[in-house]
Homo-oligomer: A and B are copies of this chain.
Amino acid sequence: MKAKLSSLVFARLIAVAILCVLALDARAQTDPLPSWNDSVAKTAIVDFVKATTTQGSPQFVAAEERIATFDQDGTLWVEKPMYSQVIYCLDRVPAVVKAKPELAEVEPFKTVMSGNREAIARLSMQDLEKILVATLTGMPVDEFRAEAAKWLDTARDPRWKRPYTELTYLPMHEVMQYLRGNGYKTYIVTGGGQDFVRVYAERVYGIPPEQVVGTAGGTKYGYAKDGKPFLTKEPRLLLNDDKAGKPEGIHLMIGRRPVVAFGNSDGDREMLEYTKAGAGARLSMIVMHDDAAREYAYGPAQGLPESKVGTFTQAVYDEAKKDGWVVISMKNDWKRIFAWGP
């Protein structure tokens, strides 16, 4: 028995040793961030991951504390000319009006139904909210999920004529994979609708629904005619996951302060501050859209054009420099933007 045991122990030791060598070998041979130029930003990521995951490093972070949060719109995928979810809501208006014909003559639905793009672009925030409520609430959770999935399959963005889910940034995919490969749990923390992003986050980013934190409304529990219980989406805001709402959402849904955070606008300012202010090693990074040729250029930080979405002000830029966040220049730091293109 003793002989059998020790031979088992020996076999296990050999097995572990082989796996360690293979893992080290694989790591040494591959650049984890091939779509990044060799720059300050890339070095910051690689150095940080090494420092926080190497046993014995003074900056070592315990595995369970390795939380990395990512804004979505403008950080993981394109947010111009309009947030994809807003386009989804506008596209859903005809179905809503068909179900409730009396809305056809009521603003802002009348304007949306007119198809007049300039008028639609001029809709106020208040009008937009009415559209969001009408198109995102009032239906069973499963029905919403199916509708959004159908739209994502068929809708195409106006510039590249591709599904929105293909407009994700390859360098950020690499960062997420690299972090996960080093024991980080990756979360999306978005001002967008939590239920909407959850429809595709697992397939597109490898981020499961339970790791998507977003703007969220309440749901109501009820029973179908056959007695089966189901949840209905209600027009009752639980969490406005933008600006100061992001640390609140992180506390509510994760309960730990992130070690790493990525954003791209003043909507991410508080999340980046909150992350950086934690004890020990912390990394906050902010994407600057300065590449009009390959994507878009907007700011107004550093003299970039003003923008209605994803505003990155000079004040936030200055805070980034002062507080030690790393600014990512899409133009200079990213070798490629999309998996399928430039």
Contact = CB atoms under 8 A, between A and B. Distances in A.
Interface string A254-298: 111000000000000010011001000000000000000000000
B209 A255 contact: yes
Contacts of A238: 238-239, 252
Contacts of A11: 18, 22
| A contact face: mostly helix, strand, loop, or mixed | helix
B270 A248 contact: no
Interface size class of chain A, counting residues whose CB lies under 8 Å from the partner chain: 35 or more
A212 interface: yes
A208 interface: yes
A315 B65 CA distance: 43
B229 A274 contact: yes
Given A15-B19, A18-B11, A254 B209 contact: yes
A321 interface: no
A210 B251 contact: no
A146 interface: no
A313 interface: no
Contacts of A248: 218-221, 231
Most chain B CB within a 10 A radius of its CB, from A8, A11, A210, A256? A210
Nearest to A187: B210
A64 B254 contact: no
A216 interface: yes
Interface string A212-232: 100010111100000011110
A109 to B, nearest CB: 28
A14 interface: yes
17 contacts: A8-B25, A11-B22, A12-B18, A12-B19, A14-B15, A209-B254, A209-B256, A210-B256, A216-B252, A219-B251, A221-B247, A221-B274, A229-B273, A231-B251, A238-B238, A252-B253, A253-B253
